[in-house]
Chain A
Amino acid sequence: MDYTKQEFMAVITGREIKDGELIILGVGLSMLAGYFAKLNHAPNLRPFTEGGVYGSTPVGGLPWGIECNRISSNATSFTNAIDALGFLVLSGRADNGVIGAAQVDKYGNVNTTGLWDDPPWKAGRYNPPRIRLNGSGGASDIAVGCKRYLIMVSHEKRRFMERVDYVSSVGFLTGGDSREKCGFPGGGPAAIISTLGILRPDPETKEFYLEAYYPSTTIDEVKASTSWDLKIPQDVKIVPEPTEEELKNLRTVDTTGSLRKSG
């Protein structure tokens, strides 16, 4: 079957989304995975955006933003940031969320803020980044407040870091019970879905290990694309390929073919 790695990642993320969940979706891959799930197997999914756009389905292609007109032509309610991110997410009410990452570490901490030659934790100073990214947006709120959330990221060594340059959105901090001690309402990242496989947190150490990899790759390739010493359990699985039905549904959502273009 012909599909791109990005499409595979969107389908796998979609499979992690359960019917009936109250879920907050961001732009791009996050929305595609969420609306794919709704069409494919979760008709009662309740998606919303951090702008407070409720009850809508994208029209005319992948929305340019969480407030874009493509997501605003069939909404049942428009509210605001304090409602969506405050009352529904930071309060601990939302079931699930999907966020992206420029870098992720072995405890699921995410950087979307900037890239440094000498990151602040190393320099002991907040120097300007070599490359500024976007900041956290609502991802930091999702990471704190959602009951669980999913991280989608392209699997490359420079992105899968022992320690990220800057923690924009908290995962399990330094592992173990370090997140629990902070008293966040949400439970933390349930999985990292990459372009090579699915990573899960160890229940005790909270370090992410490889649960399953895609048929198109090998364990060696996954390990070589990860900066930390990725643990591979005995019963590591191979992720079932997207079915024809899944791809059809994904492409119905991704009408502009953004996932096919991005390889």
Chain B
Amino acid sequence: MQNKLISIQEAVANYTWDGMTYCNGAALPVGSCSIAFGKEMVKQKRKNLNVICHCGSQQVNLLAAVGAVDRVEVGFSGLEVYGFAAGLNRAISSGETLIEDYSNGAMALRFFGGAMNWPFVPATVSIHNDQQWCSADYLDEYPCKRKIPEITDPFTGKKYGAFRTIRPDVAAIHVTMADIYGNAIMLGTEWSRFEMSRASQKVVLVADKIVHTDCMRQYPNLVRIISEVVDAVVYWPYVSWPQASPGLYDSDEEHMYYMNKMMKTQEDTDTFCDLYVNNWDSHEEYMALIGKDKIEKISQTATAFLMDPYKKWIRSDAEIRELQDRTKG
């Protein structure tokens, strides 16, 4: 097996490009998401993205706020109890970002279909409503017949909607822990990360912890993302901040509200980027921005016990640095 550890800068440079179809981890709005990867995409000035979110998060909120998103497909675009996603909604209302809506269940099925390499999947949801009749690709057609065309079950004659499946160019998927080859364990709901990892043409894992492969051998049933489908592994503790990573840290309530408030206007988004996106390179600098007290606070999570079985396999920062150096040309 190949050691796939690379830096976050290399991962974004090698696996993202302007105009691509990008998945940001099948995250949920408060939970696991490869947010630091999205910040690095902003730093490297990616634009004209087609983002497939499943659920939105602070990552697409930021990407849309800086004007990097032409089109987005979602089941849900908000930040749950933290409110509407101000940056994304600003881009949608101005017409800068086109939004294609489905239900969350339909998004999961479309990833499943993509993983199977099927052209479409049948379903009874997102039909007979405006998710079927409004399309970002055919704005002038209402009710649209081409987004989710009607099909007939050849066995019963019953009518279903045919849903285009999803084969993104790249997915940057947050995982709790991975080994250097790309085997990964996720704590908390996996949402659609399992299907997404098989549907995407390239997969970059962004892991809070790097563990020995012996950990995977101890709990092989829990390894839902396998090295076979993974192209690169990035080690980035607190990658989901200000969102949560079950077992490791809670969402940062103060920063969740602050970040969303800053996304409301272009000017404040620029200020936010100056403060939290463009002024770090190393992980140490990133951690300094979160702050020691905050790290301590969010790490005192009631879910911490979930990590107990895995602790003995966690690799140290020094070990990981050495392993990462070995992948450099």
Are A and B associated in one complex? yes
Interface residues of A (CB under 8 A from B): 27-28, 49-53, 59-60, 62-70, 72-73, 78-82, 85-86, 89-90, 109, 113, 120-121, 123-141, 144-145, 166-170, 173, 182-185
**Contact indicator B81/A185 (Cβ below 8 Å):** no
**Contact indicator A140/B103 (Cβ below 8 Å):** yes
Chain B residues, CB < 8 A from A85: 103-105, 108
Q: Which of A28, A67, A132 contacts B92 (CB 8 A)?
A: A132
**Contact indicator A81/B104 (Cβ below 8 Å):** yes
Stretch of B4-12, B25-33, B164-172, B317-325 at the chain-chain interface:
B25-33
22 contacting pairs across A/B (C-beta < 8 A): A28-B80, A50-B105, A53-B188, A62-B81, A64-B81, A64-B253, A73-B305, A82-B109, A86-B105, A86-B109, A109-B129, A121-B142, A128-B95, A132-B93, A133-B84, A135-B101, A136-B103, A136-B131, A137-B104, A141-B105, A141-B125, A145-B125
**Contact indicator A64/B101 (Cβ below 8 Å):** no
Interface size of B by CB at 8 A reads: 75
Interface residues of B (CB under 8 A from A): 26, 28-32, 54-55, 74-82, 84, 88-89, 92-95, 99, 101-109, 112, 123-131, 133-136, 138-140, 142, 144, 158-159, 187-195, 244, 246, 250-251, 253, 256, 301-303, 305-306
Q: How far is the CB of A178 from chain B (nearest CB, A)?
A: 9
CB closest residue in chain A, given B29: A65
A255 vs B55: C-alpha distance in the bound complex, in angstroms? 27
**Contact indicator A132/B99 (Cβ below 8 Å):** yes
**Contact indicator B125/A27 (Cβ below 8 Å):** no
**Contact indicator A65/B88 (Cβ below 8 Å):** no
**Contact indicator B302/A134 (Cβ below 8 Å):** no
CB closest residue in chain A, given B153: A183
CB closest residue in chain A, given B89: A132
- Smallest CB-CB A-B distances: 6 pairs: A65-B30, A51-B189, A134-B78, A137-B76, A140-B103, A141-B105
A73 vs B123: C-alpha distance in the bound complex, in angstroms? 33
**Contact indicator B76/A168 (Cβ below 8 Å):** no
A138 vs B303: C-alpha distance in the bound complex, in angstroms? 25
Chain A residues, CB < 8 A from B76: 134-138
Chain B residues, CB < 8 A from A120: 130, 133-134, 142
Q: How far is the CB of A132 from chain B (nearest CB, A)?
A: 4
Chain B residues, CB < 8 A from A59: 302
**Contact indicator B103/A80 (Cβ below 8 Å):** no
A85 vs B106: C-alpha distance in the bound complex, in angstroms? 9
Chain A residues, CB < 8 A from B26: 81
Chain A residues, CB < 8 A from B75: 135-138
Task: Knowing A53-B189, A64-B30, A65-B30 are in contact, say whether A135-B74 is a contact too (CB < 8 A).
Answer: yes
Q: Which of B54, B77, B128, B142 contacts A132 (CB 8 A)?
A: B77
